[in-house]
Amino acid sequence: MAVHGYGKILEVDLSTREIRQREIAAEFARAYIGGMGFGCRILYQDTRPELDPLGPKNVVIFANGALTGTGAPCAGRTEITTKSPLTGSTSTGNTGGLWGARLKHAGFDLIVTRNSSEKPVYLWIDDAAVELRDASHLWGKDTQETSEILQHELCPSSPSKISVLCIGPAGENLVRYACPVNDYHHVAGRGGAGAVMGAKRLKAIALRGTGTVETARPEESREATREARQRILDAKMADRMPGGPVDARKEYLERGCLPARNYQTGVLSQFIETRGVEVARRYVVRQEATCHACPISCFNLVELKEGKYSGLKVNRGIAPGPVIEWGAINSTCLKTLRREYTMVCLPRRFQRAGKENRRSASGLKTCTRPSTAWGSASFR
């Protein structure tokens, strides 16, 4: 028996190209609720400890939270779970934007992808109509290009109605910490789900969802949503973060708990002068692409206005200034914290390693953009 309000499960066999839709069973929903619970349960059931994370038998599970797409504040997120090629253990990472809400509006809460395709493919979900399509023309393209091409191909008259989750060259080339990226700027870090998608030759999942979500008691649900939203606003969370997460970091600094230099230190000299909110505001071009129904809207689109990366647009004002350069590799489907780890580790741990070892340790040798190559300006 299905549970009221939950979307269906979409099971996709990339090898046979068989696609199955079925209801989420009530006992499963009650026991595991959604998101990470759904993902971990299915991963546990479908995989074995000895399984190669980059082999065809690994699974990638995309699972909405129980409230995703309902309008509940801060709940518009999706968990991506797989066996990590980086750690060999469970990898879960969640992402925001509109992709999860639109998956729900298309009538689904869960996608389970199994086996591998011989050729690059993408999954196209157009409400209840679902099909696998050839993605040869997208292979090698970065996440921004892939998203733009698919949006215009699938809905030329209104491309923004399409949400695309995809991988870039890092995932295609099995960089073990590559991440799927959706709605251009939202990233599901960090255990390498992008590499697993690359191994399966699943380039993207594009979707359009035009339905609505039915809740069991609409009046009470609306009232609870309104109250939760108001409580967030009254707590001044949104007020405290007009510059995005940068604003919160001032408080981290005052408490000595900045996650600086990959958690090596809690304080940084000249942090406010070089990475504070005033510096961030110089770069913020507009606040947009926030997660579905979130009143905090911590998401900022930042544009570099000067220097060699002038014109580059990066998500959030995490650290404008020197670190913004790292946005240049975001579209290959890597993620900031891994980059920061790399920045910290490479000079230290691999100082004595030969050139080839350094390259493979960084995992960046497969990236196609000059700025990501070992020894390039970004590493100095």
Give, as ranges, the residues between 179 and 208 that touch ligand SF4 (CB under 6 A): none
CB of 235 to ligand SF4, least distance (A): 12
**Does residue 138 contact residue 148 with C-beta atoms inside 8 Å?**
no
**Does residue 188 contact residue 94 with C-beta atoms inside 8 Å?**
yes
Question: Is residue 284 a contact residue for ligand SF4 (CB under 6 A)?
Answer: no
Question: Is residue 294 a contact residue for ligand SF4 (CB under 6 A)?
Answer: yes
Give, as ranges, the residues between 18 and 47 that touch ligand SF4 (CB under 6 A): none
Pick from 106, 187, 253, 291 the residue near ligand SF4 by CB under 6 A: 291
Pick from 115, 262, 297, 376 the residue near ligand SF4 by CB under 6 A: 297
CB of 338 to ligand SF4, least distance (A): 18
CB of 96 to ligand SF4, least distance (A): 4
Pick from 96, 107, 276, 363 the residue near ligand SF4 by CB under 6 A: 96
Question: Is residue 99 a contact residue for ligand SF4 (CB under 6 A)?
Answer: no
User: Checking DSSP bridges between strand 121-126 and strand 202-208, what pairing results, if any?
Assistant: parallel
Task: Tell me the CA distances in angstroms from 71 to 67, 68, 184, 294, one per residue in order.
Answer: 8, 7, 22, 8
CB of 299 to ligand SF4, least distance (A): 5
**Does residue 205 contact residue 111 with C-beta atoms inside 8 Å?**
yes
Nearer to ligand SF4, 213 or 291 (CB): 291
CB of 163 to ligand SF4, least distance (A): 15
Residues near 39 by beta carbon (within 8 Å), at least 6 away in sequence? 61, 63, 79, 80, 81, 92
Nearer to ligand SF4, 111 or 296 (CB): 296
Give, as ranges, the residues between 227 and 266 that touch ligand SF4 (CB under 6 A): none
Query: In this chain, which stretch among 9-17, 260-268, 289-297, 302-310 interacts with ligand SF4, using CB under 6 A?
Result: 289-297
CB of 275 to ligand SF4, least distance (A): 19
CB of 285 to ligand SF4, least distance (A): 17
Query: Using CB under 6 A as the criterion, what x/- string covers residues 68-87 for binding ligand SF4?
Result: ------x-------------
Interface with ligand SF4 (CB under 6 A), residue total 9
The Cα 362–Cα 144 span in angstroms is 23
**Does residue 21 contact residue 8 with C-beta atoms inside 8 Å?**
yes
**Does residue 77 contact residue 71 with C-beta atoms inside 8 Å?**
no
Question: Is residue 296 a contact residue for ligand SF4 (CB under 6 A)?
Answer: yes
Rg (CA), the chain: 21
Query: In this chain, which stretch among 117-125, 222-230, 257-265, 287-295 interacts with ligand SF4, using CB under 6 A?
Result: 287-295
CB of 4 to ligand SF4, least distance (A): 25
CB of 190 to ligand SF4, least distance (A): 15
Pick from 42, 63, 260, 298 the residue near ligand SF4 by CB under 6 A: 298
The Cα 331–Cα 185 span in angstroms is 8
Query: In this chain, which stretch among 56-64, 134-142, 288-296, 359-367 interacts with ligand SF4, using CB under 6 A?
Result: 288-296
Give me the residues that bind ligand SF4 (CB under 6 A), please.
74, 96, 290-291, 294, 296-299
